[in-house]
Structure 1
Amino acid sequence: MRKRNLWILSFTLLVVMVGYGLVLPIMPFYIQNLGAGGRELGWLMSTYSLMQLIFAPIWGMLSDRWGRKPVLSIGIFGYAITLLFFGLATQFWMLFVARTLSGILSSATMPTAMAYIGDNTAEQERSAGMGKLGAAMGIGVVLGPLLGGWLSEYSLQLPFFIGSGAAFCALVIVLLILPESHNRRSAAASARWNWGCIRGVILSPAGILLLLIFLIAFGLASFQGIIGLYVIQRLGFVTTQVGALWMVMGAVMIVVQGALIGPLTKLLGEVTLIRLGMLGSTIGYGLMLLAGGFITLLVAVGFLTLALAIVGPALNARISHYAGDHLGGVMGLNSTAASLGRVAGPLWAGPLFDLEMSYPFIGGMGVLCIGFIVSLVGLRGKQYETLKV
């Protein structure tokens, strides 16, 4: 795969994740100005993830039929428009509509970008390509809230306008420079993608990978949902220390997925990396409970993030091998499994934290340990059979 195309895809996902992160520090203040409260904020956040869960496989299927470039362009254009709509909103219903459309349209970008990687890379190099996309997203997750907080000092609307402008720039680059990667033969074959195909994927060896993708997203979202409260209430951290934790998570994710995942895949293979990542994330959750201060917690967070950063690209690359002519559809199911984990994780961890602040970590260890056992039993060797429908 040409490096230029990989950079374009990485920049596109970077813009999407920066736009997502821009919203996080601003939204509570923004909805207050419109007379809304906590319940409405919950609707906005959950609606975005729910729309991504529903529409990611649909966009993936359409990218198999129409091509990667048109679907990716639709996603970026829609995302740019919805960010602009956010900045212009004067009533809560306008925010809700914009957030809903943002979830629907932005869900086209991730599965399509991963399918593009699958179209253009050799099987042994896919983990490295997926890792670079993950690194770009990690940079966006770190930069988004920082830019949002800084720009909001001038105006609460300004971050949305800046994010919209960046998305339009990414759209122009995709339209003018990025070539199409999907061939007509595959497009004709993908027209047979239907609910029977989805059932076939779930019941095939790829279904085990979808389960692991759900579990790892569940574990990460559970951790992210309660770590701030945990360190404040148990260890008495101040805002700068909480910010340092997020910076460590972002830095480790960027370095591992951007530079190390390719060599590690060549050295150990995808299956070994998946197993090590599941085991390491289980241990990382346990280390969180043992940490008693700022430095030890930084080490625990770094170890947990390292494990999660290893397993993600390996899972994405592994499941792409099974897709055959339905790469977009399968990567859409991949995104749906991850979205479901991101929705369920915080909903599960929050009530457990209210019962006892250590319960989410104990439960997370159990969930990820199950994932490790599944990876030992269900992932076998280097052979895989592509989906035939």
Structure 2
Amino acid sequence: MNYRRFIIYQGTVGMAASMIFPFYVLLLKNAGSSYSQFGWAYGLFALTAALSYSAIGKFADRVGDKVLLILYSWGMALILLAYPLAYEIWHVYVLQIVMGLLGAVQKNSEKTVIARSVKPETAGKEIGHYHIWTSIGVAIAVITTGYLVDFLTIGSIFYLASAVFAWSGFYIMKQDTTEAFHR
């Protein structure tokens, strides 16, 4: 996969994730009733990710990064369809555990694609460019979603983000992973 295609993929999943993460607190307000419940929900997300990194890393070496990126995209597309249906706090906890696992898949895969692809002598420059473009995509998504929430329901952004994740799944499935990452 080349640099530009990876940037497009990562920018897309970053945008989709950024559409929901700053705003899903509003949805949690409907399912939970306290900050401690939100703390538990986010803590379960982080703890699940932390406990799964080692296994995901080993799995990545066996199956390849593309498989994990596809798993992440399609997993997120499906799990986001369930969020607007969560009306009990335990629903949110289960969803957060699944999202913690998927988040670990994404973070690990993102780094392994870069590590396997960049030239050591220009790694800093290439990773810097990568972060510029993916961060711009994230910023645009957060700002745009703020306006969308004003016009749509909070649940609708989960459906929209699900569609963006599904598109990213199709996009990465079509990519040739034997190409060099260099621009």
Compared CA separation, residues 95 and 61, structure 1 to 2 (3 A): same
| Number of matched pairs | 179
Alignment of 1:48-127 (within 5 A): 48-127=45-124
Partner of 1:23: 20
Pairwise CA distance, 1:161? 1.0
Alignment partners' CA distance in 2, 1:46 and 1:144: 24
Pairwise CA distance, 1:169? 0.6
Partner of 1:133: 130
Say which one has the larger Rg: 1
Q: Which runs of 5+ in 2 are unaligned?
A: none
Alignment partners' CA distance in 2, 1:148 and 1:101: 23
Alpha carbons 2:65, 2:113 under 8 Å: kept: yes
Partner of 2:173: 175
Partner of 2:31: 34
Alpha carbons 1:13, 1:136 under 8 Å: kept: no
Partner of 2:162: 164
Alignment partners' CA distance in 2, 1:98 and 1:83: 9
What amino acid is the match of 2:160? Answer: I
What amino acid is the match of 2:161? Answer: G
Partner of 1:155: 153
Pairwise CA distance, 1:76? 1.7
Moved over 6 A (4+): none
Alignment partners' CA distance in 2, 1:136 and 1:156: 27
Partner of 1:145: 142
Pairwise CA distance, 1:119? 2.4
Alignment of 1:332-343 (within 5 A): none
Pairwise CA distance, 1:172? 0.5
Residues 206-231 of structure 1 deviation map (CA, whole Å, 9 limit, x = unaligned): xxxxxxxxxxxxxxxxxxxxxxxxxx
Residues 339-371 of structure 1 deviation map (CA, whole Å, 9 limit, x = unaligned): xxxxxxxxxxxxxxxxxxxxxxxxxxxxxxxxx
Pairwise CA distance, 1:35? 4.5
Q: Which runs of 5+ in 1 are unaligned?
A: 182-389
The alignment status of 1:44 with 2:27, answered yes or no, reads no
Residues 275-323 of structure 1 deviation map (CA, whole Å, 9 limit, x = unaligned): xxxxxxxxxxxxxxxxxxxxxxxxxxxxxxxxxxxxxxxxxxxxxxxxx
For 1:177, what is the secondary structure of its paired residue?
Answer: coil
Alignment partners' CA distance in 1, 2:94 and 2:37: 12
Partner of 1:287: none
What amino acid is the match of 1:14? Answer: G
Alignment partners' CA distance in 2, 1:71 and 1:25: 25
Alignment partners' CA distance in 2, 1:8 and 1:57: 27
Residues 145-187 of structure 1 deviation map (CA, whole Å, 9 limit, x = unaligned): 3233222221011111111111111110111123247xxxxxx
Residues 93-130 of structure 1 deviation map (CA, whole Å, 9 limit, x = unaligned): 22221222111012212322322223233211222332
Alpha carbons 1:31, 1:41 under 8 Å: kept: yes
Compared CA separation, residues 113 and 32, structure 1 to 2 (3 A): closer
Identical columns (%)? 19
Alignment partners' CA distance in 2, 1:145 and 1:114: 23
Alignment of 1:372-383 (within 5 A): none
Pairwise CA distance, 1:7? 2.4
Alignment partners' CA distance in 2, 1:44 and 1:18: 22
Alpha carbons 2:13, 2:168 under 8 Å: kept: no
For 2:75, what is the secondary structure of its paired residue?
Answer: helix
What amino acid is the match of 1:156? Answer: I
TM-score, normalised with respect to structure 2: 0.83
